[in-house]
Chain A
Amino acid sequence: MTEKAIALTVNGELRRASVMPRMTLVDLLRDMLGLTGTHIGCEHGVCGACSILLDGVAVRSCLIFAVQADGHSVTTVEGLGGGDGRIGDLQDAFWECHAMQCGYCTPGMLIAGHALLEENPEPTTEEIREAISGNLCRCTGYTQIVEAIALCAARRNGEDGR
């Protein structure tokens, strides 16, 4: 087996790497590109901790080999705020609502919430619960996460939200 040269856009930046075909995208991001914000929880596609945006669509990066992402565009939690330590409005809403405890599932939840709001700017509570149902959180019981996503939506829609 030989390594393959790949090039992909990560958080707006073109990144190149040479990878064994079996390396997962999440391992590429974490171990070769230093983006440790994306986490590993199960490596079999259930927990959602490794969620990222691939060409703008939320997917699990443990179920994609890095070679499959060649030529594609990836956004990780580090790219949600626009860089330089800035945070986006959804991240701010998560902070405001304390939509986390240990912080381990948080990047995946942010990706799921981000994808939902891109597609549906005014989600109902049920739609939010559906959108994050593939992301397991063991700390919060989800209530504050749902509230945070709803708060972000409300703020974007010009409502005070709380």
Chain B
Amino acid sequence: MKAAEFDYIRADSVAAACEALAAAGPGEERKIVAGGQTLVPLMAMRLARPSLLVDIDGIPGLAGIDSVDGVVAIGAMTRQRAAELSPAVRSELPLLAKALRFVGHPQTRNRGTVGGSLVHGDPAAEIPLVAVALDAALEAESTGGRRVCPADGFFETPMVTAVAPDECLVEARFPVWNAGRIGTGFREVASRQGDFAIVAAAAQVALDGDGTCTRVAAALGGVAPRPVRIAALEDALTGTRLEDRAIDAALASVEAVIEPDDDLHATAAYRGRVAKVLLGRAIREARDEALA
């Protein structure tokens, strides 16, 4: 399990990284390496074989977390562990903080980055799921300049995202919910804790003073080629008091959205049933937290 040959440069700026990517010849694959926690195993198995690795570790300003004007901006190179421990994430993006605890193990979070997980686009991964749930904005740079992609539409098919081969993700911006009492819930099932989720569910709710739900975000991972929002469920629950009955009724809308598959660890039927179970629990967790 040794990677095929490649060349390597360490970029000192995003612009330099983008230039390196843009110089790729026809049919040539050049890849950014950030934490490498997903890319390097694929290279070791020779399932990925870039000709050039562009290392963005150490580019000034690419790692870090800022909270400004109701948005938490996380630099693409921010380590998952740093995000998990960040006071800003904990206080303003509690859903992400909860989700990060399920990402791999402490050692992979020490090295793995928020941006790397987003760009890798695993349909069961936690960070993409939260990005979709919270309508994050994802900013990428190329030699042609910067562009912002909404999380909705960013994840295309398994391991394929809107980031083009010559682009470098630079930042993920998560809007912070400020109105009302906020609660979050994150649930997932995996054969072992720390594995990629078989199914993951994320929910965030806002309740007004009398407990009526004014806003709800609900999303599922592991049940479609990409993380999916359950918009019909969100619509159905907005304006309710999130009674158990209402939640259970709204969960019926999950089926129309998901396209689960069989794999080694679970059947499609399992994923379909468990998606509803876990999303129901995540919403209840969020509700109870908001009410607490």
Q: Could you tell me the distance between the alpha carbons of A99 and B267 in the complex, rounded to whole angstroms? A: 38
Q: Could you tell me the distance between the alpha carbons of A24 and B33 in the complex, rounded to whole angstroms? A: 14
Contacting pair B53 A45 (CB below 8 A): no
B33 nearest CB across to chain A (Å) = 7
Chain A residues within 8 Å of B111, by CB: 54, 57, 59-60, 63-64
Contacting pair B105 A134 (CB below 8 A): yes
A154 nearest CB across to chain B (Å) = 21
- For A88-124 the 0/1 string (1 means CB < 8 A from B) is 0000000000000000000000001001000000000
Chain B residues within 8 Å of A30, by CB: none
Which of B2, B104, B106 gathers most chain A CB within 10 Å?
B106
Residue of A nearest to B44 (CB): A43
Chain B residues within 8 Å of A115, by CB: 106-107
A44 interface neighbour in B5, B41, B107, Cβ under 8 Å? B41
Decide yes or no whether A131 CB sits under 8 A from chain B.
yes
Chain A residues within 8 Å of B105, by CB: 48, 133-134
Contacting pair B7 A63 (CB below 8 A): no
Contacting pair B107 A58 (CB below 8 A): yes
Chain A residues within 8 Å of B8, by CB: 4, 21, 65, 67
Which of B3, B8, B41, B110 gathers most chain A CB within 10 Å?
B8
Mark out the residues of chain A between 12 and 64 whose CB falls within 8 Å of any chain B CB in the assembled complex: 20-22, 24, 43-45, 48, 51, 54, 57-60, 62-64
- For B41-64 the 0/1 string (1 means CB < 8 A from A) is 101110000000101010000000
Q: Could you tell me the distance between the alpha carbons of A64 and B111 in the complex, rounded to whole angstroms? A: 9
Chain B residues within 8 Å of A59, by CB: 107, 110-111
Contact A63/B33 with A1-B5, A68-B55, A133-B193 known, Cβ cut-off 8 Å? no
- For B1-13 the 0/1 string (1 means CB < 8 A from A) is 1111111101000
Contact A22/B37 with A59-B111, A63-B111 known, Cβ cut-off 8 Å? no
Q: Could you tell me the distance between the alpha carbons of A135 and B275 in the complex, rounded to whole angstroms? A: 29
Chain A residues within 8 Å of B110, by CB: 57-59
Contacting pair B40 A65 (CB below 8 A): yes
Contacting pair A134 B107 (CB below 8 A): yes
Decide yes or no whether B161 CB sits under 8 A from chain A.
no
Interface size class of B (residues with CB under 8 A): 20 to 34
Decide yes or no whether B108 CB sits under 8 A from chain A.
yes
Residue of B nearest to A48 (CB): B107
Contact A68/B106 with A20-B5, A21-B53, A45-B41 known, Cβ cut-off 8 Å? no
Contacting pair A1 B7 (CB below 8 A): yes
B1 interface neighbour in A44, A60, A70, Cβ under 8 Å? A44
Q: Could you tell me the distance between the alpha carbons of A59 and B40 in the complex, rounded to whole angstroms? A: 13
Contacting pair A44 B104 (CB below 8 A): no
Contacting pair B106 A22 (CB below 8 A): no
Contacting pair A134 B108 (CB below 8 A): yes
Decide yes or no whether B87 CB sits under 8 A from chain A.
no
Q: Could you tell me the distance between the alpha carbons of A149 and B186 in the complex, rounded to whole angstroms? A: 30
Contacting pair A63 B4 (CB below 8 A): no
Contacting pair B53 A65 (CB below 8 A): yes
Residue of B nearest to A53 (CB): B110
Decide yes or no whether B239 CB sits under 8 A from chain A.
no
Residue of B nearest to A40 (CB): B1
Which of A2, A59, A115 gathers most chain B CB within 10 Å?
A59
Q: Lowest 3 A-B CB distances belong to which pairs?
A: A134-B105, A21-B8, A44-B41
B residues sitting closer than 8 Å to A (CB atoms) are 1-8, 10, 33, 36-37, 40-41, 43-45, 53, 55, 57, 81, 104-108, 110-111, 193-194
Sample of 19 more A-B contacts, CB < 8 Å, known A60-B111, A134-B194: A21-B6, A21-B53, A22-B6, A24-B44, A44-B1, A45-B37, A45-B41, A54-B111, A57-B110, A58-B107, A62-B40, A62-B44, A63-B40, A65-B8, A68-B10, A68-B33, A68-B57, A131-B106, A134-B107
Q: What are 22 residue pairs bridging A and B, where the CB atoms are less than 8 Å apart in the complex?
A: A1-B6, A21-B5, A21-B7, A21-B8, A21-B53, A24-B2, A44-B44, A45-B37, A57-B81, A59-B107, A60-B107, A62-B44, A63-B36, A63-B40, A63-B41, A63-B108, A67-B8, A68-B10, A68-B33, A68-B57, A112-B107, A134-B107
